[in-house]
Chain A
Amino acid sequence: MKLNLVLRELHRAETALARNLRRAAERHRVEHEVHHVALDLAEWSARHVRDLAATARSRGLGLDAHSADRPGLLAPLRTTISELAVHRPEPGLLLLRDLRALHRTTAGLSVDWELLAQAAQAARELDLLALAQRCHPDTLRQLKWTNAMLKVLSPQILIG
């Protein structure tokens, strides 16, 4: 069965999303709502990673439960660069690029959860189905958030 492959991919993608959310938060320190909410949402992905690792362990698959727990080494540098450019309009385009990338990553992740849920139902793997039902709604909320921030922020950035 290839379900373990799906679990590995989900683990990789959730770890990456947590990292990318934190990086976006640091890079856009002066965009306060993006900064704070992105950090909160990174915690959701870190929780998913722990949940994935626990479920995987019971299936004999080793996944690092803490791969998404810590911010990266360059965090202070990214924050400082953001603060130095606080009066400049140019980081706005970078913000749109980052939100767009987050949106695409999250969309892919959402599909992966969908795949896991479908396969888990077909295989009657109820622990995997429960895992998907716990985590996937969060992914959809993360997805709506990136979309909403793009909608709200883009007009001023692209016209202003």
Chain B
Amino acid sequence: MGSEMINRRSTLKSLALGAVSLLAIAAGGTFSAQAENKMLKIGFVGVTSGPAAAWGTSNVRSMQTRADWINETGGVKIGDDTYNITIVTFDDQKDPKRAIAGMEKMAQEGIRYVVGPNVDDGAAAVRPVAESKGIIYFPYAFPKSLYVAPASNAVLGMVANYQSGPAIYKYLKENKGVKRVAFIAANESDPLSQRDSGVAAAKELGLEVVAETDTYQTDTRDFTPVLTPIMQLKPDLLVLSGVAPANAPLLIRAARELGYEGLISAETAQDATVLQEGAGELANGFISVGGASTPEIRTPMMEEFIDRYIKKFGEYNDESNTKVYALEYIIETLKANPKAIDDVEEFKKTMDTFSAPNPYAKNGTLKYVGMTSFGQKRQVSVPMVVTEFKDGAFQTLFVGEVD
């Protein structure tokens, strides 16, 4: 009995030693492969849970897909060194307090470049941290104060609604005969500020704004009571200001079921699958600012990005056509000026003159823009694609550009 136990113990010990040795060999192999490249950490602080989760999740997934792709192909050469990209993520749950905590975390990890936050109040909240800790961040938020001097650390990662809105209204006025517009927004900072700038743009174009103060609670699930009085005003165009992807199909469906036959538009990016599942054919004709890519302008590299994204996460999000750009801009700018890798002032200097071929859009150029809107180059240049939803997919209405 005693010798049996000893035998069993020594067998177990041998097995454990063997397993540890195998792990050590495997780990050693991994370390030796990675030891050739340095690590470049890029942060993400934004919303990846709750009703607006689709906004941040498309950021994170785009960054992870691109980082994996870069790492798989040997890393990225910046100056004399080659780096593997590591994405460090933080879910701020759309809460400004958590966004600050997230940015603090990025600073503690020595991260200089952060993508996000996804909403206005979060982006405004992290500004003091980013500026004091020397972090450049790429928000998907529209307040001009973030990008106009003396602010200098924020770089708008997409086309703002006050840039796309006038273009959409002008198109609809000239091509669809729109005269009367109604706005509706969620009762929170982003949608409200987008609504206000949309109302101003519509009035400037000479459109009659028949509803401009209507709002709904962010947790509304049934929009029929909210839309009932607006539908009685019979607008030609219903603008869903700053609408979250989760709410867009519900609003569209409620409006159509109340007999509304006019146009519906939004200046935020939406998700085709979500629209199809939530509103089906009722969403046909819905106009929104799409992800910054269409089949017509897409390069093979963009096609490969989409393939890799789908392989990794199962389902593509049209918003990722825009969200793929922030990481690319960071990397390409660092390649243009390797000193910026730990000095954001160098990064800022480079932004003024930076230019590189756009790997995702045919005949496109990566460059910083924003002179007209902000008086300084604090916005990434991405194609402004305005789309119309039809039978489960977005169709391009027109493609524009921001200067």
Q: A and B from one assembly?
A: no
Show the binding face of A for B, using Cβ within 8 Å: none
Seen from chain B, the residues whose Cβ lies within 8 Å of a Cβ on chain A are: none
